[in-house]
Amino acid sequence: MIKEKIDIKIIKDFKSEVLNNSRKIRIYLPPSYSAQKNKFYSVLYVHDGQNVFYGRESFSGDSWNLHQTAERLIRAEKIEEIIIVAADNMGKERLSEYAHQDGYYRGKKVKARGFAYEKFIIRELMPFIEENYRVRKGPENTALMGSSMGGLVTFNIGLRRSDLFGKLAVMSPSFWWGKSSPLEKINSYNYHNLKSRIWLDTGEAEGKFMSFTEDVISRLKELKRKFKLDLIYYQVPGAVHSETAWAARVHCPLLYFYGDFADLKKLKSKDFDYSYCKKLK
């Protein structure tokens, strides 16, 4: 029996010893969670938590409405039930925490804390979620999602730790960040046993975001020949760099990860134009 009310739990001050700060964690629980006490669920971790569910606390005033999209797809039996864990960013610390490499923003140097943020996710947040919520373990049941700098940190953590994260939703990633090119960053990783399923997208109205992503796609094609890499790249017609744009297409990676990819082809053109979506071979 599926209940009508969407269940989102809030942890107001989740302390990180690694980062020496506290942040809000928002946890979406699927419809059957309270009734089916013995059921376990795949888990999706999302960055920029204040933008994920509601717009009232987001930077732009808009949100992804991810809980509503997930609920709609679950009720329509298009995807399996999942748990979504959204970790808030720390405002002024966001750029440094989401970067694995030093960079510059508006003329000021930003020291990377991405490796520490990665430890926070893996050593602090994930164990807490696994201890307190009924989540399935293993990379095949664990996904990461993010946009912009959140897309960049998803990509970096996901490729560095493919033993933990088997599904990556990399939306409008900030591949322009840092001194080295995206290709050099990719070349530095060890891809042994890489079996990731990756959703990668950019809007055609995003300028430099799209051009840098196309360079990365070329390298990923090479990786696909050697490793079990399942990747889809979606160039979104007319889409800009915004929460509303990501909200409009977030159902796509959900279907790719947790449903039947063939359902993407059946969606109306206003929701998804399959001709702009390329499953790399």
Q: How many CA atoms lie within 13 A of 231 on its CB side?
A: 25
Residue 281's CB is within 10 A of a number of other CB atoms, namely: 7
The residue segments making up the domain with residue 232 are 7-279
Determine phi and psi for 6, rounding to 5 degrees: -80, 130
Question: For 175-196, what is the mean pLDDT?
Answer: 68
Where residue 68 sits, what CATH number does that domain have? 3.40.50.1820
Q: 44-48, 160-164, 273-277: which has the minimum mean pLDDT?
A: 273-277
Please tell me the total count of domains within the chain. 1
pTM value is: 0.91
Note whether residue 2 is domain-resident: no
Note whether residue 1 is domain-resident: no
Tokens of 232: 């889809």
Q: How many CA atoms lie within 13 A of 110 on its CB side?
A: 22
- Going by pLDDT thresholds of 50, 70 and 90, the confidence category of residue 225 is confident
Tens-place pLDDT, residues 10-29 = 999 999 999 999 999 999 99
Residue 213's pLDDT is 81
* pLDDT at 271 > cutoff 50: no
What average pLDDT does the chain have? 87
Note whether residue 67 is domain-resident: yes
- Of all residues in the chain, the percent with pLDDT exceeding 70 is 85
Note whether residue 178 is domain-resident: yes
| Secondary structure (DSSP) of the chain | ---SS-EEEEEEEEEETTTTEEEEEEEEE-TTTTT-TT--BEEEEESSGGGTS-STTSSSS----HHHHHHHHHHTTSB--EEEEEEPP-GGGHHHHT-SS-EEETTEEE---HHHHHHIIIIIIHHHHHHHS-B--SGGGEEEEEETHHHHHHHHHHHHTTTT--EEEEES--TT-SSS-HHHHHHTS--TT---EEEEEEETT-THHHHHHHHHHHHHHHHHHHS--EEEEEEETT--SSHHHHHHHTHHHHHHHHB-THHHHHS-TTT--GGGEEE--
Tens-place pLDDT, residues 27-68 = 999 999 999 999 999 999 999 999 999 988 877 888 999 999
- Gap between the Cα atoms of 152 and 48, Å rounded: 12
Note whether residue 182 is domain-resident: yes
- Going by pLDDT thresholds of 50, 70 and 90, the confidence category of residue 270 is very low
Q: 39-43, 53-57, 94-98, 243-247: which has the minimum mean pLDDT?
A: 53-57
